[in-house]
Structure 1
């Protein structure tokens, strides 16, 4: 029995982003999914340029390419809650149901984001939360976008 071929960094980044999008926003309208993808790409681009962003969004990693920066951002602790094994929707990240059309949407959005073909619906955001909660860090901040049940902020 032969092993499956290894994924390229671009393929791995697209699949990881799709799974995060699915677990975090798969039940949201497409604009919310696109905005969350835009936020992830904003963080990845910033990580390529800035050491402080590497520490904040990529667990100190200094990746050499955009796909690797995106992987670092998506794998960093505390950036996307559903990545944590104890999160109530972690199973959607770890083993998404292949037949779900929302997963197919998330995969298309992820591929478009990595290809640079997705406008940034988050409007430059680096921070976000669901609309049903208000974390302490968001008190007093003005959102730059509210889409699909998600609220987005630029850094202060």
Structure 2
């Protein structure tokens, strides 16, 4: 599936909202989690998967990345109602481009999920999942059941 300019923009906006305080390495890790979802065919059937197709589909899938929820404080920035600081967005765009273009290896070990350690308690799905990386304020997982 070709990657469009919209895909790159939506991915960068997602990285800004989900990991702007994590630096480039943290944003790359979050981007790889998204790419792993984009690249995965859950049932090896060539059919669309439940979490969306392509970068835009995966990032905008309802309730997958909370920053896109209309009640999230990041949403006005993502929707364009408020401007994202240009320097911060430039870094998120660099992370997005590096991952989309394959310029950075996957530091997450194939993770398809993560959560922020700032959450009051770990999500229920994380109990049976395989932790692959802890980086900054995020913990990454694969083999989520």
TM-score bin, normalised by smaller chain: 0.7 to 0.9
Correspondence 1:56 to 2:50:
yes
Q: Residue 42 of structure 1: which of 36, 40, 43 is its match?
A: 36
What displacement does 1:37 show?
0.3
Aligned length: 140
* Equivalent residue runs for 1:26-41 within 5 Å: 26-41=20-35
Q: Which moved more, 1:123-132 or 1:113-122?
A: 113-122
Distance 1:129 1:140, change over 3 A: same
4+ long deviations beyond 4 Å: none
Distance in 2 between the 1:12 and 1:147 partners?
28
1:77 aligns with 2:62: yes
Structure 2 unaligned spans of 5+: none
Cross-structure match for 1:94: 79
Q: 1:52, 1:17 → 2: CA distance?
A: 23
Secondary structure at the counterpart of residue 107 of structure 1: helix
Name 1:110's counterpart in structure 2: 96
Instruction: State the distance in 2 between where 1:15 and 1:122 align.
Output: 22
Local SS of the residue matching 2:114 = strand
Question: Residues 35 and 9 (structure 1 numbering): CA distance in 2 closer, same or farther, change over 3 Å?
Answer: closer
